[in-house]
Amino acid sequence: MEQTVINRINKVLPDSIGAEMDIEVGDILLNINGQPISDIIEYRYYISDEYLEMDIQKNNGEIWTLEIEKDYDEDLGLEFENPIIDQSKNCQNQCIFCFIDQLPKNMRRTLYFKDDDSRLSFLQGNYITLTNMQDEEIQRIIDFRISPINLSVHATDPALRIQMLNNKKAGNILKIMKEFNDHEIKMNCQIVLCPGVNDGKNLDQTIEDLKELEHIQSTAIVPVGLTKYREGLFLMKPYDQNSAVKVIDQVEAWQKDILKDKGRRFVHLSDEFYILGNRKFPAVENYEGFPQIENGVGLVAKFLREVEEELTEVKINHIKDSKVENHVLAAQNKKIEIQIITGTLAKEFMENIATIVREAIPYIKIHVIPVKNLYFGETITVSGLVTGGDILETLKTIEAKSDGESDFETVMMIPKAMLKAEENVFLDDLTIKDLESRLDRKVVISEVEGKDFVRNLLKILKLT
């Protein structure tokens, strides 16, 4: 039996069904219930049954036929060399807001790849436009019940969406979504809002259309990100305070109406709008479980709540209850200075967090350092796009203005969002080790959530 080697197993989880069946790293999955497996969606679909027959090719070339009885939807504990088994599908759109088209030259090649793959939407939460799919692929989502699926909508008006995506197939998005809705496919939607393009009355129409589809779980609205590398691209300006306030008022009015009608707010703005508009963030409860936290929707409110809860829980009680007097402990830690690195957008918020921390730990030396984004341009203000080089440049400027050498041990804390997934590498390919070496200080990586932030502070201060 011939098989293209795309289904090679590279991990078998301990105590899993796969391990019990003596499946090993390097084995190749040939088929399930007689069906060849062309990608991860088919794999997930076919293993959901309670009884399976699997053909596995062992490292020595032997073919094993395994009979497996299991609970419905129970996983086999297998992972593959290629997470989706097949190759990722490339996006053929030329969206007027595409961030990849605004990248500088000579970055690592993988950063220029535009995916638009329903399998990555299901597995990793990527957003897809549905424009790079054939009719049979749309039907496959329905037949295999790929749900939830994340959709880049941007506009429901056909002509406007065709203009924004520069793809003549882009105008049928609402028709496809209605079909998904009829088959109870759950959807999460994203709208990249571009001033003077799809906001105003066009945004009203998009929200009006989407709210009628009961199986849309959430809709996030994020402002377009504009780098300094836009030569030859669609002319566009960023949101400012006045335009951000108009969007906030517009969307909050929709939230109020939809809440009365459906019992949920349905549509949410990313934190950037509230920061740009200098408006108070909604209450944590208003984010309805944070379904779009990865889009920066409610991240600030959630982070603040978590910091406050963690500090309340800790209350530095283990200090007060210990036999070590507070002033002695303070003396042990007063020589540590903590630098909190952030993008310029979150400067005021992180300074507020620092104030809250100082109230809980009075002797802590903590400073917030906002980093201007010179790599992509100062219009890019979010922390996730700060580069190692920009951090170095910012610290170089700050320390050139300082009075002589400090006797403090300096520790820098950066959010994990600044780094490549699963690697300690910035977008400009500088590493954490590079930063530590050039700045002569330890760098601590913190998850973008309040509990981890507070616990890292305590570790730095040697309180845990």
Q: Is the pLDDT of residue 253 over 90?
A: yes
Which of the four CATH numbers 1.10.150, 1.25.40, 3.80.30, 3.40.50 does domain 100-295 have? 3.80.30
> 44-72 as b/e, with b when 16 or more CB fall inside 10 Å?
bbbbebeebebbbbeeeeeeeebebeeee
Nearest of 48, 17, 18 to residue 33 by alpha carbon: 48
Q: Which fold has domain 9-80?
A: Pdz3 Domain (2.30.42)
Q: Which fold has domain 301-460?
A: Rossmann fold (3.40.50)
Name the more confident of 116 and 237: 237
Q: Assign 331 a pLDDT band (cuts: 50, 70, 90).
A: very low
- In angstroms, the CA 57 to CA 26 distance is 9
Q: What is the rounded average pLDDT of the residues 429-440?
A: 94
pLDDT at 136: 82
pLDDT score for 336 = 87
Of the chain, the percentage scoring pLDDT greater than 90 comes to 61
Does residue 26 carry a pLDDT above 60?
yes
Q: Where in the chain is the domain with CATH 3.40.50?
A: 301-460
pLDDT band at 315 (very low <50, low <70, confident <90, very high): low
* Mean pLDDT of the 148-161 span: 94
Q: How far apart are CA 329 and CA 462, in angstroms?
A: 10
* Range name among 72-86, 358-372, 402-416 with the lowest pLDDT average: 72-86
133 vs 128 pLDDT, higher one: 128
Higher pLDDT, 115 or 445: 445
Mean local confidence (pLDDT), 238-245 = 96
Q: Check residue 88 and give its pLDDT.
A: 52
Two tokens, residue 328: 């002695």
Direct distance between the N- and C-terminal alpha carbons of the chain, in angstroms, rounded to an integer: 58
- Intervals of CATH 3.80.30 along the chain: 100-295
How far apart CA 317 and CA 411 sit, in angstroms, is 24
If one compares 325 and 98, the residue with the highest pLDDT of the two is: 98
